[in-house]
């Protein structure tokens, strides 16, 4: 029995060394190997384990190939049927090492399956994202980008090519024109006030309309037309409640045109003719300082 064991104990050790080397190589190469290559290595290790079993175990205690869950029971059977003494101790040591290798293989298999699961999950997410992007790009190409533009409401006011109808009464006409200048629609307000003055030159609101007509020019920086319009107001509507405002705006327009001396003359005229007006008391002093009046 001992001679037979001596003849057969070297092959199992050499196989075990080869098996250990294979496992070390496998551990070092898991991260860089493909799944198929890893599974092939696992299969090779399993074959080596079976070879060791056939050489070491007795027929009654043979380890069943591929059954990793029952490895501990099979190993116990092998140890119980092994010879007593040195031979039994060696076989027990081999069984322990085989059990350790089986545990490592199971751990590596689990890690490999987990890695494959993560890779597959990421691949699925990438494929879904690619399909979603392709769908979105296709939608944009079909719509020509119009869908995104259509979703943004326009906030700009429609441009008026001509003023709205003046209305039936001078008051309605004036109110409509005044609403335009209040909304800073000076071009349209100019047209509306000109039409009002042509249609209603003697209306009680004509003096106000003349003032606001001049204001449409002043607000747009057209100080020459503003000066002319305010002077016409003083000439046509000297008794209008806007008369003090006419003179004040004439002086301001002249000052902005660089005619500071003429502007100061107008301010003096304002002070002489309308001393109690708001334009004279509150606004004139400030405008005189701007013009450098003495």
CATH of residue 32: 1.20.58
- Whether residues 135 and 176 share a domain: the answer is no
- What DSSP designation does 281 have? I
Quote the pLDDT of residue 294: 86
Domain interval for residue 46:
2-140
In a domain, 265, yes or no: yes
- Whether residues 201 and 264 share a domain: the answer is yes
- Whether residues 135 and 21 share a domain: the answer is yes
In a domain, 40, yes or no: yes
Segment 148-172, tens digit of pLDDT: 434 434 434 344 445 545 557 999 9
| Helix, strand, coil distribution of the chain in percent, nearest 5 | 75, 0, 25
Q: 3-state DSSP call for residue 201?
A: coil
Quote the pLDDT of residue 24: 47
Above 80 in pLDDT, residue 134? no
Calculate ∠ Cα 90-91-97, nearest 5°. Answer: 90
- Whether residues 7 and 128 share a domain: the answer is yes
In a domain, 204, yes or no: yes
Q: Output the domain CATH number for residue 192.
A: 1.25.40.10
158-to-106, 154, 155, 162, 163 alpha-carbon distances in Å: 75, 10, 9, 12, 12
Segment 201-226, tens digit of pLDDT: 999 999 999 999 999 999 999 999 99
In a domain, 158, yes or no: no
User: In the numeric block, which tokens belong to residue 32?
Assistant: 């860089």
- Whether residues 115 and 177 share a domain: the answer is no
pLDDT bin (cut points 50, 70, 90) of residue 89 is: confident
User: In the numeric block, which tokens belong to residue 201?
Assistant: 């030159």
**Identity of the highest mean pLDDT range in 31-35, 42-46, 150-154, 195-199:** 195-199
Above 60 in pLDDT, residue 50? yes
In a domain, 148, yes or no: no
What is the chain's alpha carbon radius of gyration, rounded to the nearest angstrom? 52
Quote the pLDDT of residue 108: 72
- Whether residues 103 and 31 share a domain: the answer is yes
Segment 277-294, tens digit of pLDDT: 999 999 999 999 999 998
- Whether residues 8 and 135 share a domain: the answer is yes
> What is the Cα–Cα distance from 37 to 16, expressed in whole angstroms?
22
Query: Which residue's structure tokens are 């090492």?
Result: 97
How many CB atoms lie under 10 A from the CB of residue 84? Answer: 7
User: What's the mean pLDDT in 172-193?
Assistant: 96
**Identity of the highest mean pLDDT range in 12-21, 132-141, 158-167, 246-255:** 246-255
pLDDT bin (cut points 50, 70, 90) of residue 5 is: very low
Do residues 196 and 166 touch, judged by C-beta distance below 8 A? yes
- Whether residues 23 and 96 share a domain: the answer is yes
Quote the pLDDT of residue 117: 56
Residues 6+ apart with CB under 8 A from 63: 49, 50, 53, 57, 71, 74, 75, 78, 98
Above 60 in pLDDT, residue 241? yes
- Whether residues 65 and 174 share a domain: the answer is no
- Whether residues 216 and 134 share a domain: the answer is no
Per the structure, how many domains does the chain have?
2
Residues 6+ apart with CB under 8 A from 231: 246, 250
In a domain, 161, yes or no: no
In a domain, 152, yes or no: no
What DSSP element (H or E) covers 10? Answer: helix 2-29
Do residues 208 and 181 touch, judged by C-beta distance below 8 A? no
Quote the pLDDT of residue 92: 81
Q: Which of 89, 120, 140 is the last residue of a domain?
A: 140
- Whether residues 69 and 13 share a domain: the answer is yes
């Amino acid at each position: 029995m001992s001679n037979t064991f001596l003849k057969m104990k070297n092959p199992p050790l050499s196989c075990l060394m080869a098996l250990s080397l294979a496992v070390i190589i496998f551990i070092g190469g898991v991260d860089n190997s493909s799944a198929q290559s890893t599974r092939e290595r696992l299969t090779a290790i399993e074959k080596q384990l079976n070879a060791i079993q056939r050489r070491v175990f007795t027929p009654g205690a043979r380890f069943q190939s591929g059954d990793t869950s029952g490895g501990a029971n099979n190993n116990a059977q092998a140890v119980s049927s092994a010879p007593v003494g040195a031979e039994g101790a060696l076989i027990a040591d081999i069984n322990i090492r085989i059990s350790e290798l089986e545990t490592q293989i199971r751990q590596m298999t689990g890690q490999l399956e987990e890695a494959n699961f993560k890779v597959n999950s990421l691949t699925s997410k990438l494929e879904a994202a690619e399909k979603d992007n392709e769908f979105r790009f296709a939608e944009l190409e079909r719509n020509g980008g119009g869908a995104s533009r259509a979703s943004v409401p326009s906030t700009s006011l429609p441009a008026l090519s001509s003023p709205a109808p003046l209305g039936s009464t001078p008051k309605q006409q004036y109110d409509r024109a005044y609403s335009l200048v209040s909304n800073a629609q000076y071009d349209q307000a100019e047209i509306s006030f000109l039409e009002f003055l042509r249609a209603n030159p003697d209306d009680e609101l004509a003096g106000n309309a003349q003032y606001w007509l001049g204001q449409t020019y002043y607000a747009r920086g057209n100080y020459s037309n503003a000066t002319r319009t305010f002077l016409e107001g003083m000439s046509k509507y000297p008794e209008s409640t806007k008369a003090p405002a006419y003179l004040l705006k004439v002086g301001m327009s002249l000052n902005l045109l660089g005619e500071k001396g003429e502007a100061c003359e107008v301010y003096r005229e304002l002070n002489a003719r309308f001393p109690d007006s708001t334009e004279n008391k509150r606004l004139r002093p400030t405008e005189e300082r701007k013009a450098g009046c003495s």
